[in-house]
Amino acid sequence: MLALGKLLDLTLAGREPAEKTQLTVGGVRLRWLDQGALEVRPPEGRDNGLDLLLSAGIHGNETAPIELLDALIRAIARGELKPRARILFLFGNPEAMRRGVRYVEQDVNRLFSGGHEQSSGLEALRACLLERLAASFFSLPGRERVHYDLHTAIRGSAIEQFALCPWKEGRQPSRAELARLQAAGISAVLLQSKPSTVFSAYTCDRLDAQAFTLELGKSRPFGQNQQVDLSALRERLMQMIEGREPETDGSLQGLQLFRVDQEVIKYSEAFLLHLAEDVENFSPLQKDYVLAQDIGGKRWVIERKGTRIIFPNPRVASGLRAALLIVPATDAVLED
């Protein structure tokens, strides 16, 4: 196997490869761009016009997606997976991956779309680099641009595998995009309602990619992800890479759609979230329930029947989101 196929090993060891560019026997070109960054190009005449950005490890302790990308890279380097798409593989936060922590100083996934310009330190520099790599990769005109940013969640989830669709003014995801996600094992899609500073929002809004954050189960250490079933996602990514995706009917039957109804922001250290520590993502909340309170008499009360909660985390820093409240949406908002 080519040495660049061991991108994860190189990244965890903090080493640069001796050779920055290598070719497989089949003529696929692998190019090391930076720590945790590998570009893959198909042979001349085999390129099908898809630019596919696959990122994982934005949070260093979310290892199942990292292991998935590692397996894809190794299969390409061995010549078993034969790309027809251009691919950019990114391991988002190498230092956090090496330490087995979510982040070292600050959450990288809050530092895109201008966030790193208001900050400093290791993760701010990394977010800036990731933006530059993505912008360069998606700079070729007339090509399909897709970005999947792969994550696992801090807590368990009533809907284990789901996608977050970034907000972009004047754009809704298409049925074809969501059908592709459903075929990859995604059971629900959350439609965002405002700009954000996560990686997929940057590539969607600034680089015009079909971009999604994929949540794929619960976070576990390297080698302990046997309970995270990514077989459907792996198969769909292999099909996309090799240009052999089967057609979907676009019916989206069984795919659950939600929209963000309210953000719960932690304003001070007085913030209280009235939920059990082990509450799962997508847990339903009763109408009129007092969910949280903060300084100055600020309260969050559940206003709509059918409201659910995702990403509850009262230990975030003041000024950051402590939870999202979501409600069911209809597919009438989607583009054909």
pLDDT tens digits, one per residue of 86-136:
999 999 999 999 999 999 999 999 999 988 987 889 999 999 999 999 999
Q: Which two tokens stand for residue 303?
A: 């206003």
Token match 């090799």: residue? 242
Please state, for a pLDDT cut of 70, what percent of the chain lies above it: 99
Taking the C-alpha atoms of residue 161 and residue 234, their distance in angstroms, rounded to an integer, is: 13
Both 172 and 122 in one domain: the answer is yes
- With respect to residue 28, please indicate whether it lies within any of the assigned structural domains: yes
Alpha carbons within 13 A on the beta-carbon side of 28: 28
- With respect to residue 55, please indicate whether it lies within any of the assigned structural domains: yes
pLDDT for 210 equals 97
Helix (H) or strand (E) holding 22: strand 21-23
Taking the C-alpha atoms of residue 290 and residue 140, their distance in angstroms, rounded to an integer, is: 50
Taking the C-alpha atoms of residue 144 and residue 210, their distance in angstroms, rounded to an integer, is: 8
- Read off the pLDDT of each residue in 235-256 and give the average, rounded to a whole number: 91
Both 61 and 179 in one domain: the answer is yes
Both 314 and 190 in one domain: the answer is no
User: Does the active-site annotation cover 215?
Assistant: yes
Q: Residue 8 sits in a domain of what CATH number?
A: 3.40.630.10
- With respect to residue 19, please indicate whether it lies within any of the assigned structural domains: yes
Taking the C-alpha atoms of residue 48 and residue 7, their distance in angstroms, rounded to an integer, is: 25
**Mean pLDDT over all residues of the chain?**
94
Q: Residue 269 sits in a domain of what CATH number?
A: 2.40.50.630
Of the pLDDT bands very low, low, confident and very high (cuts 50, 70, 90), residue 332 is: low
Both 7 and 115 in one domain: the answer is yes
pLDDT for 46 equals 95
Both 227 and 298 in one domain: the answer is no
Where among 215, 242, 269 does a domain terminate? Answer: 242
pLDDT per position as a tens digit, 142-168 = 999 999 999 998 888 999 999 999 999
Taking the C-alpha atoms of residue 260 and residue 49, their distance in angstroms, rounded to an integer, is: 33
Q: How many domains does the chain have?
A: 2
Both 87 and 152 in one domain: the answer is yes
Both 297 and 237 in one domain: the answer is no
| DSSP SS3 for 274 | coil
Q: Residue 292: name the closest of 260, 326, 259, 324 by CA.
A: 324
- With respect to residue 238, please indicate whether it lies within any of the assigned structural domains: yes
Both 231 and 275 in one domain: the answer is no
Q: Residue 88: name the closest of 121, 129, 123 by CA.
A: 129
pLDDT per position as a tens digit, 105-116 = 999 999 999 889
Token match 């700009």: residue? 195
- The number of angstroms, rounded, from the C-alpha of 115 to the middle of its chain's C-alpha atoms is 17
Q: Which of 62, 95, 131, 215 is catalytic?
A: 215
Where among 214, 242, 270 does a domain terminate? Answer: 242
Indicate the residue type of 323: A
Residue numbers of the domain that contains 80? 3-242
Both 160 and 187 in one domain: the answer is yes
- With respect to residue 255, please indicate whether it lies within any of the assigned structural domains: no
Q: Residue 81: name the closest of 178, 197, 147, 1 by CA.
A: 1
- With respect to residue 115, please indicate whether it lies within any of the assigned structural domains: yes
Is residue 248 scored above 90 in pLDDT? no
Both 192 and 52 in one domain: the answer is yes
Those residues whose C-beta lies under 8 Å from the C-beta of residue 29, and which sit 6 or more positions away, are 21, 22, 23, 40, 41, 43
Both 142 and 275 in one domain: the answer is no
Instruction: Provide the b/e sequence for 167-186 (b: ≥16 CB within 10 Å).
Output: bbeeeebebebbbbbbbbbb
Where among 199, 214, 242 does a domain terminate? Answer: 242
Both 175 and 319 in one domain: the answer is no
pTM for the model stands at 0.94
Please state, for a pLDDT cut of 90, what percent of the chain lies above it: 82
Is residue 249 scored above 80 in pLDDT? no
